[in-house]
Amino acid sequence: MAVDHYTRIMGDIQALFRSRLQIQILLSLADGTKTLAQLREVTGSSSQALIPKIRKLESSNFMAISDYEYHLTPVGRILTKKIQDIILFKSVTKKHKNFWDQHYSEAIPEEYFANIGALFNSEIVTDTNVDIFNVYFNFLKMIQEAKEVYILSPISSPAHTDAVLKRIRDGVYVETLVGKDLIEQLSQSPHFDKIHELASHTRSKIFVLDEMPRLGLTVTDKYISLGLYKNDGVTYDTTTDLFSNDAQAVKWGRSLYQYYRDNAVELTL
């Protein structure tokens, strides 16, 4: 068990994480090789303070020196990557604490939730008493500036459907991923002709999942918007989205969309 391993190496782990300088040295070397002078500049510390920490990291085979420049060893690179993951994960969950605390985050597959550090450069967009359509208008802005749009939608909205249809008519490639239950409900609604148009258009595809995940996702070539259900896991929160135009966040969102897309079947009418 992991707890047994921790007990055996607890001293080594605590010694590493208690040292601000050791962590800073490793993180700075993740960006590339550094001279001692560069490490002084990055850490804001003197050579006298740095050298004992460097020797400790060298003795642990986490870093080495060649041609007067320090670099991470293979072991050091893996360790530093894991440290970065911990820092980014903690940073995101702290930065947007209310968003994660108040929503059903279990809906995000574990391997993607483990990498939500990619969402650090993001913001929370919410509806307010002053702007009750803030989230919807943010969605419109996203798709208006997009060259391609990928939507995973747990709910149906005529306003959203109309906005997407307009972009399709403009020649934008759009993929929409919905649940089997939602398609069955829509087939009985007066809006089904719009779904039919969306599915039959040459620049559009609709894919159907047997079981829809409890989240909403819109990803374009520039943006990502992530919505979640409330903590009850029953009510989708249409008033709050996590939004980003950061390249790493967009990459994360596109990969998450593809995760579900791989298990879906294209809708044919």
Q: Model pTM?
A: 0.85
Domains of the chain: 2-84 (1.10.10.10), 98-266 (3.30.870.10)
Q: Where are the beta strands (DSSP E) in the chain?
A: 63-66, 69-72, 123-126, 148-152, 173-179, 204-209, 215-220, 224-228, 240-244, 265-266
| pLDDT for the residue numbered 140 | 94
**Other Cβ atoms within 10 Å of 237 Cβ, number:** 19
Distance of CA 176 to the CA centre of its chain: 19
pLDDT for 190 equals 67
pLDDT for position 244: 97
Give residue 152's identity as a one-letter amino acid code: L
Cβ neighbours of 197 (radius 10 Å)? 15
The residue with tokens 């208006």 is 144
pLDDT attached to residue 177:
92
Straight-line distance from the first to the last Cα atom of the chain, in angstroms, rounded to the nearest whole number: 52
> Which residues sit opposite 150 in a β-bridge?
175, 219
The pLDDT profile of the chain, 269 residues, written as one tens digit per residue, is: 667 766 777 777 787 888 999 999 999 999 999 999 999 999 999 999 999 999 999 999 999 999 999 999 999 999 999 999 999 999 999 999 999 999 999 999 999 999 999 999 999 999 998 889 999 999 999 999 999 999 998 887 888 888 988 898 888 999 999 888 877 776 666 666 776 777 676 678 889 999 889 999 999 999 999 999 999 989 999 999 999 999 999 999 999 999 999 999 988 76
Helix/strand/coil for 239: coil
Secondary structure of residue 152 in the 3-state scheme: strand
Return the closest-CA partner of residue 104 out of 252, 256, 236.
236
Dihedral sign for Cα atoms in the order 137, 138, 141, 147: negative
The whole-angstrom distance between residue 144's C-alpha and the CA centroid of its chain comes to 22
